Amino acid sequence: MSNHQLHRSTRTLADGEILFREGDEADCAYIIEEGGLQISTNSEGTPVILTQLKPGDIVGEMGVIDSAPRTATATAAGPTHLMVVTRDQLTDRISQADPILKLLVKILLDRYRSGLNKVKGEGGLLAGPDELIAEDVVGEYIRHGIDKIRLESELKKALKEQQLKVFYQPLLGCETGKIAGFEALTRWEHPKRGPISPALFITLAEETGLIVPVGLYVFDSACRQLAAFQQAPGYGAGALFMSINVSAKQIADKDFITQAAEITDRYQLNRSDIKLEITESLAVDMEATDVWIDRAHELGFQVSLDDFGTGYSSLATLYQLDVDYAKIDQAFVRPLDTEPRSRELLRGIVALMRALKLKIVVEGVETASELEYITALGCHLAQGYLIGKSLSPEDAGELLRNPDPLTFIG
Ligand code: C2E
Ligand code: CA
Ligand code: CA
């Protein structure tokens, strides 16, 4: 295969065309997008069909690990469209892996290959159970890895083609009963798979570093939208904020905070109307985060500690990090209506935060009685399905234009 073909990201085959032959040098894997492949092998001179693969299946996955020859022949069954996964995409990750993990991968691969050779050499019947297990386990790990690579390249495409949409969840001022701001939450509507959960694609973006460009895109969209929302009567600068999630890799990226400041200038926003939401993740060291928070403050941004109480964000963090807001996780709100002790726990947390002069946001407010309770405790902002789910920019704008947006609250 030529170098040119090696780096192509897709490949199209006509019916009956051979993708690769048993014994060919291997350099990449393929994911079937459309059509199908017949996988066959030559057993003592006789061709044996091993399996028939369909859209979504992965083929030639060992080719992304090393250059050992292909162990079977793949032939298009009808017109077929493939996505190519190159070795670089996987080896980059393996080279960054822990040395013990690398060794483990190598041992498993050797076992996989010896198992495969036994299957082939002895007519496919006599491999021992150990080798077959090794093959299954390795194959499964690699397929899982390739699946992530596929999602990663789709996410890159999604970013380029603006498939990522930012939605806006309203926050209520507990004292005023008015919308005080929004949190920008990113949505990915995949053209074929439908909506993909942020829990999945944000985690993937964080693992791969894609969160840096994704985060800038979200930051830009949310700022542009805040400037538009602040046109609504009664919600001008200083009267409506935007909370934007910032992940550990963005904090580690030395350019992000300066670029963020430039974006706010471009939209002529008050930086104090932007709250940067951070979580204490194990990936970031506290000192670096503290320095970053100082820089964010110098530039005029507000900083909020997200998911308080979930383990990633705990009591110690509260005095180590100089944040303006703390967001109490919804886990503390869920039992309020049923567990009296949880009310006392929340009361204690709020008292502590108030003593530290923090502004308090409560997440996951779903019932009127929860809102009533947190308001009585002196919390400042409420977020949750009672106030509203995340809304498209159009619906969020509609909410602001409505003179009495929360009439449904009892
Ligand atoms: P988060 O920052 O804690 O956001 C709040 C999540 O709770 C959102 O989930 C929101 O839809 C959900 N939620 C809000 N109110 C309620 C409620 O009353 N009840 C229940 N059960 N859930 C509620 P979502 O949109 O699925 O986002 C999940 C997480 O993904 C976010 O958690 C955040 O960590 C991350 N995320 C989303 N967009 C971005 C982004 O643009 N950048 C980064 N770095 N992370 C993002
Ligand atoms: Ca958040
Ligand atoms: Ca949260």
Does residue 304 have its Cβ closer than 6 Å to ligand 1?
A: no
Using N-to-C axis directions, what is the helix angle for 211-229 and 198-208, rounded to 10°? 130
Distance 176 CA to ligand 3 centre (A): 22
Residue 387, Cα to own-chain centre: how many angstroms?
25
Give yes or no for residue 198 CB within 6 A of ligand 1: yes
pLDDT for 132: 45
List, for the chain, all residue ranges whose pLDDT scores fall below the cut of 50.
1-7, 122-133, 408-410
Protein residues placing their CB within 5 Å of the ion ligand 3: 306-307
What is the pLDDT, as a whole number, of residue 115? 65
Q: Is the CB of 57 under 6 A from ligand 1?
A: no
Among all ligands shown, which has an atom nearest to the Cα of 243?
Answer: 2
**CA 315–ligand 3 middle distance (angstroms):** 16
Q: Is 384 in the pocket of ligand 1 (CB under 6 A)?
A: yes
CATH-assigned architecture of domain 164-407: Alpha-Beta Barrel (3.20)
Distance from Cα 279 to the centre of ligand 3, integer Å: 8
At 409 the pLDDT is 43
Percent of the chain with pLDDT strictly greater than 90: 59
Measure 218 CA to ligand 2 centroid, in angstroms.
13
Q: Say yes or no: CB of residue 195 within 6 Å of ligand 1.
A: no
**The pLDDT value given to residue 129:** 43
Q: Which atom belonging to ligand 1 lies closest to the Cα atom of 385?
A: 18
Fold match between domain 1-87 and domain 164-407: no
Task: Name residue, tokens 């495969």.
Answer: 116
* Residue with CA at minimum distance from ligand 1 atom 15: 384
Tell me how far the alpha carbon of residue 321 lies from the centroid of ligand 3, in angstroms: 17
1-87: in CATH 3.40.190.170: no
Q: How far is the CA of 364 from the centre of ligand 3 (A)?
A: 9
Q: Give distance in angstroms: CA of 197 to centre of ligand 1.
A: 10
At 91 the pLDDT is 67
Question: Is the C-beta atom of 35 inside 6 A of ligand 1?
Answer: no
Task: Return the residue matching tokens 């190598």.
Answer: 106
Q: Which ligand is nearest to the CA of 304?
A: 2
Tell me the residue type at 409: I
364 Cβ closer than 6 Å to some ligand 1 atom: yes
What is the atom index within ligand 1 of the atom nearest the CA of 247?
Answer: 44
The ligand 1 atom at the shortest distance from the C-alpha of residue 166 is 41
Q: What is the pLDDT of residue 405?
A: 57
Q: Where are the domains of the chain?
A: 1-87, 164-407
The strand pair at 46-53 and 80-86 is best described as unpaired
